Amino acid sequence: MTTIGENLESVRKRIHAACLPAGREPTAVRLLAVSKAQGADALAQAVGAGQTAFGENYIQEALSKMALLQHLPIEWHCIGPIQSNKTRLVAENFAWVHSVDRLKTAQRLSEQRPAHLPDLQVCLQVNIDGGTSKAGVAPQDALMLAQQVAALPRLALRGLMTIPEPAEDFAQACAVHERTRVLFDVLCASGLRLDTLSMGMSEDLEAAVQSGSTLVRVGSAIFGARPGRSQ
Ligand SMILES: *Cc1c(COP(=O)(O)O)cnc(C)c1O
């Protein structure tokens, strides 16, 4: 069995290798370690191996790890669905949130972000492949939502996040990620100052980097298969 440190090293190498053919600087792609369903000890091991940014899907689970790991320099990212009654916990405890897909959620986060903390860093989740039951703003509504969110105090709109359906092959994965990149370019061309494309996971990070991802969210390739919950 490989250790978390070894897995991190091989994920970093994968990112590096994906940047070369794409003509991109490896430093242009951040690695977010997705630690849902992992115990605090696993996160501590990853921190020991140089990882600082962690993504969590479930707010309560994240809060208990934050309490256990408060002595470590961790940047916490919320990447899961946000119910209205959880916005305050997100606003008070996370540095980033990737899963904003409604103005109402953004307004609550803006109102509830404590003034003594830096702005909450926000990505809008886009439903890029159109599953009707899926979270995410529809691509055609993303520009309007982005303009509204960008105007809110105490939030810093950074970019877009997607969770596409698993692709059949590299080309198909690239095609979906490129649709997100094109949308990102449209938003930038409209005058929004965005720098983050949060896309790519354990299976498809190469395709995501090829298509312009600036932040890959990697769970199982670092921590191994998740016990229990699959999402
Ligand atoms: C679980 C999850 C990931 C990581 O998935 P892996 O396939 O384990 O790399 C990334 N992003 C989101 C939103 C997730 O829920």
Q: Which tens digit of pLDDT belongs to each residue from 79-134?
A: 999 999 999 999 999 999 999 999 999 999 999 999 999 999 999 999 999 877 78
Q: Is 98 in the pocket of ligand 1 (CB under 6 A)?
A: no
Look at residue 231 and tell me whether its pLDDT is greater than 50.
no
Q: Average pLDDT of 206-227?
A: 95
Q: Which value, to the nearest 10 degrees, does the dihedral of the CA atoms of residues 35, 36, 39, 40 take?
A: 50
State the Cα–Cα distance between residues 166 and 22, nearest whole angstrom: 22
**Domains of the chain with CATH codes:** 4-215 (3.20.20.10)
Q: Is 108 in the pocket of ligand 1 (CB under 6 A)?
A: no
Tokens (6 digits) for 162: 């997607």
Q: Is 34 in the pocket of ligand 1 (CB under 6 A)?
A: yes
Q: Is 214 exposed, middle or buried (0-12, 13-18, 19+ CB in 10 A)?
A: buried
* Percent of the chain clearing pLDDT 70 (strictly above): 97
- Going from the Cα of 188 to the center of ligand 1, the distance in angstroms, rounded, reads 26
Question: What is the average pLDDT score of the chain?
Answer: 96
| pLDDT for 230 | 47
State the Cα–Cα distance between residues 53 and 29, nearest whole angstrom: 13
Q: Average pLDDT of 40-48?
A: 98
- Going from the Cα of 33 to the center of ligand 1, the distance in angstroms, rounded, reads 9
Q: pTM for this structure?
A: 0.96
Q: What is 88-133 written as a DSSP string?
A: HHHHHH-SEEEEE-SHHHHHHHHHHS-TTSPPEEEEEEB-TT--TT
State the Cα–Cα distance between residues 68 and 157, nearest whole angstrom: 29
State the Cα–Cα distance between residues 107 and 91, nearest whole angstrom: 11
